[in-house]
Amino acid sequence: MSGWQRIPRRWQCPGNSICTFTVTCPRGLVVMGGGVSSGGWGAFAPTVIQSYPDTDRSWLIILDNNEPFATIDVDVWAICVRRT
């Protein structure tokens, strides 16, 4: 399939925090999906609270880092396609 891009971003979320992340598609593209991957495991695994397109060009993630002390890496991406 041509005409699409995966736009990845990496952030950090401090321990015991709720973090919000947004990935925006380049001009001329619209968001068709998105996702998140993060560190953490077991009882302290992070919880994705929300994951949705918040505009026609951006994907939003709200994540709860349940780890009391550790900052975790959070990878968020948007799948963007050409506007027709």
* Residue for token pair 């001329």: 28
pLDDT of residue 49: 97
Tell me the pTM.
0.89
Residue 29 structure tokens:
């593209």
Distance spanning both ends of the chain, measured CA to CA: 15
Q: Choose among 74, 80, 65: nearest CA to 34.
A: 80
DSSP H/E element including 17: strand 17-24
pLDDT tens track of the chain, all 84 residues? 568 999 999 999 999 999 999 999 999 999 999 999 997 777 788 999 999 999 999 999 999 999 998 999 999 999 999 987
Burial class (CB in 10 A: 0-12, 13-18, 19+), 36: middle
pLDDT of residue 84: 75
pLDDT of residue 24: 98
CA 67 vs. chain centroid, Å, equals 18
